[in-house]
Amino acid sequence: MTKKKTILSGMRPTGKLHLGHLVGALENWVSLQNDFNNYHLIADYHSLTTNPDSSEIYQNSIDMLIDWLAAGVDPAKSPVFRQSQIKEHSELHLIFSMLITAARLERNPAVKEQVRDLNIENVTFGHLGYPVLQAADILLYKGDLVPVGDDQVPHVEISREIARRFNKQYKKVFPEPEPKLTSFARLPGLDGMDKKMSKSADNTVLLSDSPQDIQKKIRKAVTDPLKIRKNDPGRPEICLIFTYHQKFNPSETSQIDADCRSGALGCVECKMRVANRVTETLAPFREKRAHYENHLDEVKTILGEGEGRARIRAQTTMVEVHEAMAMG
């Protein structure tokens, strides 16, 4: 029997999740949970790298965890845990910080992008070290694979470099983790085809939205600007609503494609159809979410158990780390 590989997946606790998280991450996590050993990390310390205000982090972590559970993440199979509650993350982060240069971290495209918006004067030491903490997250559990979107690939590359460097400097302890890209391209937000769905852009459908909210939000979505009247011909390939049909209403896409192009189908009708399918997709989710919202003790127990299991795994790795460094 070959040993199952380990997957380490993580998200920063941004609060309630949206359809983009479902399509881009959660569906993938759930489909992988039988064939791999999975660890699901709530990266709460990472939230502090861009904003030290911690007042909402706990509540956002719980809201996000409820969405994970409602989407089908099974905590009996895969521990769910907060980074801040497993001290070994901080410890390994410290050791790793000696194994990568500041210059290399400054070249990280994700930081570069933020520096452009922020100005280097405002980038903290902790923010520069964001990928070093992420490397500790992954390698503490000896993650072989990391399910991420393409924006995270540079971070995973830094994890690989750090693993290689540690193994060479001391003794082989770590695998070199690989990104595992999701198959469905990222979901556009409601405000245009070229922007991804994100909380900060305020263009989301939340997994917890009511059917009325879903309808209201989708009704206002941007479509082909040249299709002004109902019978004008439209271009599905530039329409975000068509992308939603592809994802949530796959059996009707060819008909919708044809009817949009010919002008037989108007945008309002097209939007209502997709809103109904999204509502149907989210129905079981909404039910499970309501259960957890009414049983917060259960959610906290799940988190506590996950943290217990993760801690044991993390401590085992740290014993090996200290032995490899002859510091045990």
**Alpha-carbon distance 157 to 176, whole Å?**
9
* Distance in Å, CB of 25 to ligand TRP, minimum: 8
> Considering only residues 115-154, where is the footprint of ligand TRP by CB under 6 A?
134, 137-138, 146, 148, 152
Residue type, 200: S
What pairs with residue 37 in β-bridges?
A: 6
- 15-44 residues in contact with ligand TRP (CB under 6 A) are 41, 43
In the complex with ligand TRP, the residue whose CB is nearer, 185 or 272, is 185
Query: Does the footprint of ligand TRP cover residue 8 (CB under 6 A)?
Result: yes
Q: Residue 38, Cα to own-chain centre: how many angstroms?
A: 14
> In this structure, are residues 72 and 297 in contact, taking their beta carbons and an 8 Å threshold?
no
Q: Which amino acid is at 139?
A: L
* Contact assessment for residue 154 and residue 109, using Cβ atoms and an 8 Å cutoff: yes
Q: Which stretch binds ligand TRP (CB under 6 A): 2-10, 96-104, 118-126, 217-225?
A: 2-10
Nearer to ligand TRP, 105 or 270 (CB): 105
**Distance between CA atoms of residues 85 and 15, nearest Å:** 18
| Cβ-based nearer residue to ligand TRP, 123 or 238 | 123
Instruction: Name the residue whose CB lies closest to ligand TRP.
Output: 10
What is the residue whose two structure tokens read 């097209």? 270
Question: Could you give the CA distance from residue 253 to residue 61 in angstroms, rounded to a whole number?
Answer: 36
Report the residue number, 114 or 246, with the smaller CB distance to ligand TRP: 114
Q: Are 199 and 134 in contact (CB under 8 A)?
A: no
Q: Which of 7, 11, 100, 274 binds ligand TRP (CB under 6 A)?
A: 11
Q: How many residues bind ligand TRP (CB under 6 A)?
A: 15
Q: Which of 10, 13, 129, 236 binds ligand TRP (CB under 6 A)?
A: 10
Q: How far is the CB of 244 from ligand TRP (least distance, A)?
A: 23
Q: Give me the least distance between CB of 5 and ligand TRP, in Å please.
A: 15
Output phi, psi for 279, to 5 deg: -60, -45
Rounded to 5 degrees, φ, ψ at 246 are -60, -35
Site for ligand TRP in 150-189 (CB under 6 A): 152, 155
Q: What is the DSSP letter of 3?
A: P
Provide Rg for the chain, Cα atoms: 22
Pick from 9, 49, 60, 204 the residue near ligand TRP by CB under 6 A. Answer: 9
Q: Which is nearer to ligand TRP, 134 or 243 (CB)?
A: 134
Least CB distance from residue 290 to ligand TRP, whole Å?
27
Q: Are 48 and 129 in contact (CB under 8 A)?
A: no
Residues that bind ligand TRP (CB under 6 A): 8-12, 41, 43, 46, 134, 137-138, 146, 148, 152, 155
